[in-house]
Structure 1
């Protein structure tokens, strides 16, 4: 009986051939890997030992317009641990917890819960000295990495403009968020050798250098920002106000020189941070501006040619009815010219003018001054407000628009509008960044009309009975307008006891340099009128700002009067 293989000898030969082919393929692969293609095994080996770790990028510096730092990045040490390795050093956990300043029980629970992981953060943001003290304990499984932490030298003074970054150094509020890509930079890479446990053996080389973020120079003048911050804090405390804002704009360039808010917060310590304190109210809170828009209604009337500064309006008996609405004046004015209407802040007078010229001129000039439009500052969360444009205007809507109700603005928009008045009717875009050269503006108001309105506003401040006497600045002619507006309620009407106090003005009148708006929200102690609460803040801030900016005084007594006064004093001294 023959064997099966003897009956089919070709099968045996096929098997032998296949085995020979397999041996040949393996031999060729061995030769290929060991002799020809050596890079493959080298790369595989490197993949198990060579690592690329990121090099953090230095975030760009934020400064004020004079180079004073507002946000800087400092190196910090972050400690991380490998829970698998730390399991072998359980006896040293209490020592580690004490060095980290953490509760031993809490740390033990974390390490037990995450014992299968190979990476957890132990603590972040230590100073290099603090981190080195922990590393010097040589506890297995504890490692470090370099990071950067943001520090804000101005603290709460500029917090709501600059904003802050999170623990990963990403912008989260303010200009830190708006310009995050500009400031962030590009991380680099470092090639290192690590063992199978992830421990560093050798720092090989830097394969890609980190690219630092770009610097950002703001238009803010830190000296003026401190001044505004200080005066707002005082007025909030004195009058028991809920909040306050101040915006100062360079009339000629549109740059924001100061933007302060109360309440505020310290971005370097945000443990007890209240969300409401983070809000940049000057750009986010909208309100009805009240009497501060009356100068623009006067400008609209002058622009029609139907009215002149000496035109007289009968405001008696101090009230008027439009349908079911009654418009009242705070003070009884009588026969008032246009300057008198602003001085007495007559709602009746400005309403009669608006009803005579129609709503279109008033709406147009307010629109051209920037109401109801974005400022172009690019600030996160900025509100635009509203400027209604009805298809058919009712008389009540026309009158209320003329004296500052029925529209909503931000403090920044109002400051921008007054800068238009101060810049001879030229609308220049606002900027929170320092400008090397002024931006192009658009003429939106006749130059002579803007100058005439400024002279009227000067009378409001400097003449008796004008309502703005507390805004006077020694040595300078200033012009401005106070305002007081009831706050809206949640039901759509107005509250009976909650007000906002305003003052908006320009200084100096002869050669305007700055426009300032002050808003005080819900003053509750000692009064609530804009001329009483907000005007003094304007006066104090403007006085020091003009001197810091080296603006020449335009309201000094003539030299002859000064000499006569000195002579009388000297003569009296001799007697």
Structure 2
């Protein structure tokens, strides 16, 4: 059988069929229309609306970068710098571009003080941008730049520097790596200090390097400087004296605050333990605590002068009114209140001088709970001072409707309520300022002090200054508070610590005083937490700290002496007085 002849392509019968003419015309018209549309679109984009293409092109090489603002300085009242921002560099990388040889990786890791393995882990990240090291010293950053490594870049930042180190750490606080406030004044006034970053347009090459600075879009606005009320000289004196006292008495902690009695400004504020804000490695919570402002404690006998002031101001007692202290024992309900020594009959002035619990309670119980509460409230206890400081505590002052007689009695000598050290120091302004209570400030005041409120009469305040001068003299509880050439006044406090709802054999020793008595200039409040070197009374532990700080500070301020220079007499001789120096009752 014969095979059919093969059909070639050009003899395919399907090709002999004629197509309709309209189909060819339709394809032609479609092609012409598409071409016209493309030509029109190209003409529109390139001739009339070229912003779109320019924006797309610029997005490949133009960038808007942030220009950091310089954080404002913090100074003391005399213009001495306490905190300043210094320029540093941060090293960052584009992992996709960072192809480093082993030798380059080792050299870079050594400069950045990193482990080579850690560096390599960051450089293999899937992210487009990774920091390798923040806040690097400029001289180290220059060495990094000299390596000329692909994908490794730098940017300028600022790091906060504190010239005084740990001296004023709890006042100033510190900033984080972004130069934003984290603690202390740095946090409280962060908005004022931080400023506003600016921006500028630049051109970068494909390696991310800036090749042209095109324009400034918005200039940065640097942060404002902040002048604190702190006096750097007094701050160091307070810090050094407190540190030595905590060490000498083997105490858990301590705090001190110094106020200007004329204005209410804080001249010094120190805590122990403390920390160096320039090196915050291995910080503990105890180091960070600002005990002056955030910690509360039972003030003990430092509250007794206020009960005496209330009694004198209301006309119920005079400084010479006799009070029977009943040989140092007084029973209220099931509880018995004790004095450390038996005194018998004392005047009101001697009750404060000898720190008699029994005498103080007898005075306090002549008032209603509401009257006592109102006076404590007027002094600022139980409410924050409004300093704006992070973590400021209000203390504890319960509603008088809940007071039982024994609770009113113990509150008269500083148990059953809690205060902060700065609240206590501020309350003593009423004695130093003829009965006026001023607001306290951490910021330097340019004009006259803000108006205060009259809590007691000027006559009462003057009488209390004389009584408190007796308490800080031989025969009182704080002869170690005396200063050569100056008259001083103040009151000691010694309180058992409350832990788990029960009083323990741990103590808080305190002293609050002012000088010179003739024209008070400084108020110094000292608190020593858990002294354990054998002494725990405020007169032995806290009063000497007051004397050391106040003496140096008064001389630094040029305050004229108001007493003749003579040898200090810490106590009357036992053979002449027939007794031992007074100790405050607890």
Note if contact 1:251-1:420 (Cα within 8 Å) is conserved in structure 2.
no
RMSD (Å), alpha carbons: 1.9
Which residue in the other structure is 1:351 paired with? 361
Match of 2:281 in 1: 271
Larger CA deviation: 51-60 vs 145-154: 51-60
- Check conservation: 2:373, 2:400, Cα contact below 8 A: no
Q: Is 1:37 aligned with 2:49?
A: yes
Q: CA shift at 1:117, angstroms?
A: 2.9
Contact 1:425-1:447 at 8 Å conserved across structures: yes
1:300·1:361 contact (CA, 8 Å) conserved in 2?
no
- Say if 1:310 and 1:338, in contact at 8 Å, map to a contact too: yes
Equivalent residue, structure 1, for 2:35: 23
Q: How does 1:356-435 map to 2 (within 5 A)?
A: 356-391=366-401, 393-435=403-445
Counterpart of 2:77 in structure 1 is 65
Q: Tell me the secondary structure at the aligned position of residue 200 of structure 2.
A: strand
Counterpart of 2:466 in structure 1 is 455
Distance 1:41 1:440 in 2: 66
Q: CA deviation at 1:540?
A: 1.1
Deviation, structure 1 residue 4: 7.6
CA offset at residue 556 of structure 1? 2.0
Please, which of 289, 298, 302 is the counterpart of residue 292 of structure 1? 302
Tell me the residue number matched to 1:213: 223
Is residue 486 from structure 1 mapped to residue 496 from structure 2 by the alignment? yes
Between 201-210 and 229-238, report the one with greater CA deviation.
201-210
Cross-structure match for 1:446:
457
Q: Within the alignment, does 1:519 sit opposite 2:527 as a pair?
A: yes
Contact 1:301 1:361 in 2 (8 A): no
Q: For residues 410 and 475 of structure 1, what CA distance do their matches in structure 2 show?
A: 31
Q: Identify the residue that residue 115 of structure 2 maps to in structure 1.
A: 103
Superposed CA deviations along residues 174-232 of structure 1, whole A, max 9, x for unmatched, are 11111111111111222221123423322333322211111011000010000000000
- What is the match of residue 208 of structure 2? 198
**Deviation for aligned residue 1:16:** 5.7
| 2:301 aligned counterpart, secondary structure | helix
Render the CA deviation track for 1:225-261: whole Å, top value 9, x for unaligned.
0000000011111110000000111112111011110
Looking at structure 1, the residues matched to 39 and 203 of structure 2 have their Cα atoms a distance apart, in angstroms, of 32
> Counterpart of 2:580?
none
Q: Report the alpha carbon displacement of residue 12 of structure 1 after superposing the two structures with TM.
A: 7.4
TM-superposed CA distance for 1:358, in Å, is: 2.7
| Structure 2 gap segments, 5+ residues each | 1-15, 567-586
Q: Per the alignment, do residues 469 and 91 of structure 1 end up closer, same or farther by CA in structure 2, a change over 3 Å counting? A: closer
Post-superposition CA distance 1:337-359 (Å, at most 9, x none): 01110111010001111112333
Aligned match for 2:192, one of 179, 182, 205 = 182
- Please give the per-residue CA displacement for 1:12-50, whole angstroms capped at 9, x wherever unaligned: 777665554443332221111111122221221111100
Partner residue of 2:517? 509
Deviations 1:323-372 (A, max 9, x none): 11110001111100011101110100011111123333322222111111
1:77 aligns with 2:89: yes
Residue 171 of structure 2 contacts residue 269 of structure 2 at CA under 8 Å; is this kept in 1? yes
User: Which residue pairs with 1:93 in the alignment?
Assistant: 105
TM-score of the superposed pair, with normalisation by structure 1: 0.92
Residues 89 and 140 of structure 1 are in contact (CA less than 8 Å); yes or no, is this contact kept in structure 2?
no
Cα distance in 2 between the residues matched to 1:413 and 1:5: 104
Q: 1:62 touches 1:218 (CA, 8 Å); kept in 2?
A: yes
Cα distance in 2 for partners of 1:395, 1:349 equals 15
* Structure 2 equivalent of residue 53 of structure 1: 65
Describe the superposition over 1:284-343 as per-residue Cα deviations: whole angstroms up to 9, x where unpaired. Answer: 110110100101000111122121111000002211111111100011111000111011
- Equivalent position SS for 2:58: helix
- Which of residues 126, 132, 147 in structure 2 aligns to 1:137? 147
Q: Does the 8 A contact of 2:122 with 2:130 survive in 1?
A: no
Aligned counterparts of 1:450 and 1:3: Cα–Cα separation in 2: 124
Q: How far 1:154 sits from its partner (Å)?
A: 0.7
Contact 1:419-1:514 at 8 Å conserved across structures: no
Q: Is the 8 A contact 2:515 2:522 kept in 1?
A: yes
Per the alignment, do residues 12 and 312 of structure 1 end up closer, same or farther by CA in structure 2, a change over 3 Å counting? farther
Query: Quick check: 1:73–1:150 contact (8 Å CA) kept in 2?
Result: yes
Q: Secondary structure at the match of 1:172?
A: strand
CA 1:359–1:390 in structure 2 vs 1: closer, same or farther (change >3 Å)? Answer: closer
* Corresponding residue for residue 120 of structure 1: 130
SS in structure 2 of the partner of residue 83 of structure 1: coil
Cα distance in 2, alignment partners of residues 337 and 272 from structure 1: 54
1:159 aligned partner? 169
The structure that has the greater radius of gyration is: 2
> Match for residue 543 of structure 2?
535
Report if aligned partners of 1:265, 1:277 keep a CA contact under 8 Å in 2. Answer: yes
Greater CA drift, 276-285 or 207-216:
207-216
SS at 1:398 equivalent: helix
Instruction: Please say if residues 89 and 139 of structure 1, whose CA atoms lie closer than 8 Å, have aligned partners that are also in contact.
Output: no
Displacement of 1:173: 0.6
**Separation in structure 1 between the aligned mates of residue 414 and residue 112 of structure 2, nearest angstrom:** 59
Would the aligned equivalents of 1:501 and 1:529 in 2 still touch at CA under 8 Å? yes
Asked if the contact 1:304–1:357 (Cα under 8 Å) also holds between the matched residues in 2, the reply is no
| Alpha-carbon distance in 1 for matches of 2:139, 2:460 | 65
Cα pair 1:377 1:431 within 8 Å, conserved = yes
- For the 8 Å contact 2:198–2:221, the answer to whether it is kept is yes
Whole-angstrom CA distance in 1 between matches of 2:71 and 2:340: 54
Instruction: State the distance in 1 between where 2:470 and 2:399 align.
Output: 32
Question: Conserved in 1, the CA contact under 8 Å of 2:99 and 2:150?
Answer: no
Aligned residue among 256, 259, 267 for 1:257: 267
The answer as to whether partners of 1:304 and 1:361 remain within 8 angstroms in 2 is no
Residue deviations 1:390-412 (CA, integer Å, cap 9, x gap): 21532111111111111100000
Does 2:326 correspond to 1:319? no
Aligned to 2:476: 466
**How many residue pairs were aligned?**
550
